[in-house]
Structure 1
Amino acid sequence: MNGKMKAVVKHHRGYGAQIQTVEIPQINEDEVLIKVKATSICGTDVHIYKWDEWSESRVNPPYVFGHEFSGEVVEKGSKVKNVDYGDSVSAETHIVCGKCSQCLTGKAHICKYTKIIGVDTQGCFAEYVALPAANLWKNPKEMLYDVAAIQEPMGNAVHTVLSGDVIGKTVAIIGCGPIGLMAVGVAKAAGAAQVIALDINNYRLNLAKQIGATSVINSKNEEPLQAVKQLTNGDGVDVVCEMSGHPIAMNQGFRMVTNGGRVSILSLPVRPVELDVTNDIVFKGITVKGITGRKMFETWQQVSALLHSGQVDVKPIITHHFSLEEFEKGFELMIEGNCGKVVLYP
């Protein structure tokens, strides 16, 4: 397909982005062109928009960013067999090499040569996006486009929560951004006895209650370690899912986990974090897991099943809808924290 399209472009090495008219991407024989129906703003996109230390060291403007979306297949390469014209699709956003030792042993999600859509390649804040067919996930026709667009970040939540057992356990979700909110719902659906949500934003803590948190703690208004101690009869939590990236909150997570517990970290602190390894990790005998992306495609199957069964309802998390041209409103809401998931429509 030839022609022009509108897109949100990270246009310079500084704050913000611009709506621009750019070329519709051309596809190779193993790629698919997708008409974007809905795209959502991720915390990673906010890093890029704000131009913090991480994004400054990672991305190279100008380029189209964004990586969470759903859309319709409108063109496919000659070698593409897994999807057809008109299919509703979303995408695994990690483009992997398929040849390194990780890829060859079932751990493609930690491929050494991963490229991330909208970070290392052209993204989906646009009318069209071109992607390898191997990265596509076919959606049920009845799935709403906004729900389909947030399966990728929900996969992060599923991977984080289910990187160990949670049945009958007490789980603390630190950081109730959109993925943290999804993690609340996943932990509850997976059989956690208690799901404690911690944040300093009452708007998002109220959303956490709607999604299934059994307790919420505003860490600005009460001492979180003492509050968790009271909720767990002095034992601490069995599982911590760290979603905030804040050094103080991360330290609190390691201090509140019980001996022999687990801390799974999805967040991306922009600077090194100092931890008391001796007392909070070694002597407690805990398991620490770094979480990146989704298991390909095990996590996608889990996400699809949780949504299809109704065990996790993500609709309350999708709080705002804007046109693509109104992207600045969406980013400002994300920066302020007065929202759940923000969806844009090209």
Structure 2
Amino acid sequence: MKAIVKDAPNYGAKLVKVDVPKSLEPHEVLVKVKAVSICGTDLHIWLWNEWAKNHIKVPQILGHEFAGEVVSVGRDVSLVSIGDFVSSETHIPCQHCKQCRTGNMHVCQNLKILGVDMNGAFAEYVKVPEIVLWKNDPSIPPIWASVQEPLGNAIHTIFVEDVTGKNVLVTGAGPIGLLAIGVLKTAGAAKIIVSEVNDYRRDLAKEIGADVVVDPRKESLVNVVKKETNGDGADVMIEMSGNPQALKDGLTSLTNAGRASLLGVYDKDVQINLNDLVIFKAIRIYGITGRKMFETWYRGADLLKSKKLDLSKIITHVLDFDDYERGFKLMEEGKCGKIVLKL
């Protein structure tokens, strides 16, 4: 089969032929991939940054956001059947630790991540345990179904508390930030303010439905947020950028007793004034990783099935699988929303 493989500890990845996974463990499933989307994690591995150097063992098939059809199942599989149209959670839990047994499989103590700790889905076939599979409604196109994993990130980040009627600041309009804007529109947020340095993505944020879009290099984010909220500040801050200055400005922009949900990942330790920005303001901070298994999947699937959430503007490029290099280049340049490769 064709697969995009990180074959050496350097920049890039190669499209090569590898063996289709043959043997299945009792609870494993083989899926024929129809569509895969490129994630920021895949870009880290492509660039071979410090995170990738510390987490990836080469050679390895990349990718973890996909949709496809079940073509083979292990003897004890009961959750899916051959022919089912599926997507997959990418946090693979042990199912035995305290977190797994108390409703927090997404932060399993023995967590493995598809495409990071094991071969991923940038291939014609992928093998995964049945516990992570999600049966898709046939009405959802495979292109859309392939982005449910990052959509789940946005949903989990937003709905850790209610956002209805709230003024929400989104810092970072990368692919998940753009998904967050779409979800916030469906959730009845009062005003959506977006901070983004990339021209292309600022324009896209406006098109998707942001009420106010700020280039923090050219004007004070804090001043804009205060102006747009009658001097009170944002009720909620959704941090998607992984930029230390965005975090500081976002916390400063929050109203007293506001809420911050942090999904962005930072390159190194971040210094902030906890006294003034968090403690004395009584700010509630949530660290967000992955998705609630499978609470956020139900929410995301229902938004797509009902057509309340339209991904057509957020998915800016649908490319042939063999054209993967163009997809990664667009991700590097930031001249895209979500990119999907079709097989």
- TM superposition score category, shorter chain reference: over 0.9
1:330 shift after superposition: 0.3
| Bigger shift: residues 232-241 or 306-315 | 306-315
Q: Which residue of 2 aligns with 1:314?
A: 311
Asked whether 1:6 is paired with 2:6, we answer: no
Q: Which residue of 2 aligns with 1:43?
A: 40
The aligned amino acid for 1:193 is A
Whole-Å separation in 1 of the counterparts to 2:196 and 2:35: 28
Q: Which residue of 1 aligns with 2:190?
A: 193
Q: Percent identity between the aligned chains?
A: 49
Q: Which residue of 1 aligns with 2:278?
A: 281
Whole-Å separation in 1 of the counterparts to 2:149 and 2:57: 23
Q: Which residue of 2 aligns with 1:91?
A: 88
Whole-Å separation in 2 of the counterparts to 1:13 and 1:253: 36
The 3-state SS of whatever aligns with 2:265 is coil
Say which of 97, 102, 120 aligns to 2:99.
Answer: 102
Whole-Å separation in 2 of the counterparts to 1:297 and 1:289: 19
Q: Which residue of 1 aligns with 2:211?
A: 214
Asked whether 1:15 is paired with 2:26, we answer: no
Contact 2:56 2:117 in 1 (8 A): yes
The aligned amino acid for 2:283 is I
Q: Which residue of 1 aligns with 2:142?
A: 145
Whole-Å separation in 1 of the counterparts to 2:200 and 2:270: 27
Whole-Å separation in 1 of the counterparts to 2:271 and 2:168: 23
Whole-Å separation in 2 of the counterparts to 1:186 and 1:236: 21
Q: Which residue of 1 aligns with 2:113?
A: 116
The 3-state SS of whatever aligns with 2:317 is strand
Contact 1:324 1:345 in 2 (8 A): yes
1:305 shift after superposition: 1.1
Instruction: For residues 198-246 of structure 1, give each alpha carbon's deviation from its aligned partner in whole angstroms, at most 9, with x where no partner exists.
Output: 1011211222122221111122222211111111111110111100001
Q: Which residue of 1 aligns with 2:261?
A: 264
Whole-Å separation in 1 of the counterparts to 2:122 and 2:246: 31
Whole-Å separation in 1 of the counterparts to 2:143 and 2:19: 25
Asked whether 1:327 is paired with 2:324, we answer: yes
The 3-state SS of whatever aligns with 1:200 is coil
Q: Which residue of 1 aligns with 2:29?
A: 32
Asked whether 1:177 is paired with 2:198, we answer: no
The 3-state SS of whatever aligns with 1:8 is strand
The aligned amino acid for 2:31 is I
The 3-state SS of whatever aligns with 1:316 is coil
The aligned amino acid for 1:178 is P
List, as ranges, runs of 4+ consecutive aligned residues in structure 1 with deviation greater than 6 Å: none
Q: Which residue of 2 aligns with 1:302?
A: 299
Instruction: For residues 271-307 of structure 1, give each alpha carbon's deviation from its aligned partner in whole angstroms, at most 9, with x where no partner exists.
Output: 1111111110111110010101110111100101111
Asked whether 1:341 is paired with 2:338, we answer: yes
- TM-score in terms of structure 2 length: 0.98
Whole-Å separation in 1 of the counterparts to 2:74 and 2:11: 37
1:91 shift after superposition: 0.2
| Bigger shift: residues 17-26 or 90-99 | 17-26
1:309 shift after superposition: 1.8
1:61 shift after superposition: 1.2
| Bigger shift: residues 61-70 or 24-33 | 24-33
Whole-Å separation in 2 of the counterparts to 1:46 and 1:89: 24
Q: Which residue of 2 aligns with 1:78?
A: 75
Q: Which residue of 2 aligns with 1:53?
A: 50
Whole-Å separation in 1 of the counterparts to 2:17 and 2:254: 50
The 3-state SS of whatever aligns with 1:258 is strand
Asked whether 1:245 is paired with 2:205, we answer: no
The 3-state SS of whatever aligns with 1:263 is strand
Contact 1:8 1:324 in 2 (8 A): no
CA RMSD of aligned residues (A): 1.0
1:142 shift after superposition: 2.0
Q: Which runs of 5+ in 1 are unaligned?
A: none
| Bigger shift: residues 148-157 or 72-81 | 72-81
Whole-Å separation in 2 of the counterparts to 1:126 and 1:178: 22
Whole-Å separation in 2 of the counterparts to 1:58 and 1:283: 37
1:99 shift after superposition: 1.1
The 3-state SS of whatever aligns with 1:125 is coil
The aligned amino acid for 2:248 is N
* Count of aligned positions: 342
The 3-state SS of whatever aligns with 1:192 is coil
